[in-house]
Amino acid sequence: MDLWHAYRLRWKRRRFLFRIWRKHNEIAAAVDRTDRIQRGAILAFVTVRNEIIRLPYFLDHYRKLGVDHFLFVDNDSDDGTAEYLAQQPDVSIWTTKHSYRLARFGMDWLGWLQWQYGNGHWCLTVDADELLIYPDHDVRDLKALTAWLDSHGHASFGAVMLDIYPKGPVEDAFYEPGDDPTKTLTWFDAGNYRHQVHRYYGNLWVQGGVRDRMFFADEPTRAPTLNKTPLVRWSWRYAYVSSTHQILPTRLHDVFDFEGDSKASGVLLHTKFLPMIGAKSAEELVRGQHFQNTALYQAYHQQLTKNPDFWHEGSCRFDGAAQLVELGLMSKGRWV
């Protein structure tokens, strides 16, 4: 990286930090239990809107993984999400009615909370429809993983977002709140992934999967970005750029080695395609809060309202973390 580019990235990070400080008044504490956060606690940061159906399993999954405290920003839910979260003893919640899009899709709000509470902690930043798994996650929790990362001098951990889906029209599937979504969303695309080095940030940029196949076949370069760096030993000097796809400083997203398999990595099971996806997409068409490229993503959400069937002959049935290691979608690296 040349000195001029490094200089530009430093100033970009400072601008993000200033923006985070400037936006902090947009969120207000509803239930603040952060005085319960102990030294060494693993923290989760999440922005939500109308996710009451997903939250029981989401919290159960991450509690089992070893998250000690959850810091949520609720963006004007009207389905009981905020009320449900307020009842959870390991949750602190802030609320806002401000624009999700104008807050860099929630990252300004979470950035303030990370600035205030995350410094020195291992921090997990995820969406309500993302379930992190990694090699041996069922027997070694996040405390074991982060201790291993610390011992090897790693301050971050990467994951590829993997879209999982049902067989048949998505709205015909059955799901009850609190159920494990992977019992409903049992299929995924296994082999149509590609990666390249991002020209500006220098991280590996991963695309592919079912959304690429179904909705972006004619414009594959516009397909959703799948690489993420969701787990970081946080410093108040850090800032996410776009969701958790990129982070500054850039050394933190040096988390994948698809060629040499030297770095451990995980997968974020993306549970977006539960049966309520049509209604949520119709709502987003009205709200317009998730669109970066407006015309492209409006067409994408319009197709999601039409009860699509994602399954095809090349679909692979999900069978756990070991399968994803074998397929090269996550790596054990030296995590053994």
| pLDDT single digits (tens) 169-200 | 999 999 999 899 999 999 999 989 999 999 89
**Residue 259 buriedness (CB in 10 A; 0-12 / 13-18 / 19+):** exposed
Residue 302 has pLDDT above 90, yes or no: no
- Mean pLDDT across the chain: 93
Residue 278: predicted pLDDT: 75
d(CA 73, CA 86): 11
Number of structural domains in the chain: 1
Strand partners, 316: 188
d(CA 38, CA 147): 16
Size of the chain, expressed as the number of residues it contains: 336
d(CA 316, CA 190): 6
Query: In which band, very low, low, confident or very high, does the pLDDT at 336 lie, cut at 50, 70 and 90?
Result: low
Please give the residue range of the domain that contains residue 46. Answer: 3-326
d(CA 200, CA 139): 38
Segment 92-111 shows an average pLDDT of 95
Query: In which band, very low, low, confident or very high, does the pLDDT at 280 lie, cut at 50, 70 and 90?
Result: confident
Q: Assess if residue 7 is contained within a domain.
A: yes
Query: In which band, very low, low, confident or very high, does the pLDDT at 143 lie, cut at 50, 70 and 90?
Result: very high
Question: What radius of gyration, in Å, describes the C-alpha atoms of the chain?
Answer: 19
Segment 98-104 shows an average pLDDT of 93
* Strand boundaries in the chain, DSSP class E: 28-31, 43-48, 69-75, 91-96, 122-125, 130-133, 156-165, 187-189, 193-197, 204-208, 227-233, 239-242, 246-248, 266-270, 315-317
The pTM score is 0.95
Residue 303: predicted pLDDT: 86
- Spatial neighbors of 327 by CB under 8 A, at least 6 apart, are 190, 191, 316
Residue 1: predicted pLDDT: 65
Least confident among 70-74, 137-141, 291-295: 291-295
Q: Assess if residue 307 is contained within a domain.
A: yes
DSSP conformational letter for 169: B
Tell me phi and psi for residue 67, to 5 degrees.
-70, 130
Q: Assess if residue 236 is contained within a domain.
A: yes
Residue 298 has pLDDT above 90, yes or no: no
Residue 291 has pLDDT above 70, yes or no: no
Asked if residue 316 lies in contact with residue 189, where contact means CB atoms within 8 angstroms, the answer is yes
Count of CA atoms in the C-beta half-sphere (13 A) of 231: 29
Q: Assess if residue 21 is contained within a domain.
A: yes
Q: Assess if residue 60 is contained within a domain.
A: yes
Residue 260 has pLDDT above 80, yes or no: no
Task: Work out the angle at residue 265's Cα, subtended by the Cα atoms of residues 319 and 118, and round it to the nearest 5 degrees.
Answer: 120
Residue 294: predicted pLDDT: 56
Q: Assess if residue 333 is contained within a domain.
A: no
Q: Assess if residue 142 is contained within a domain.
A: yes
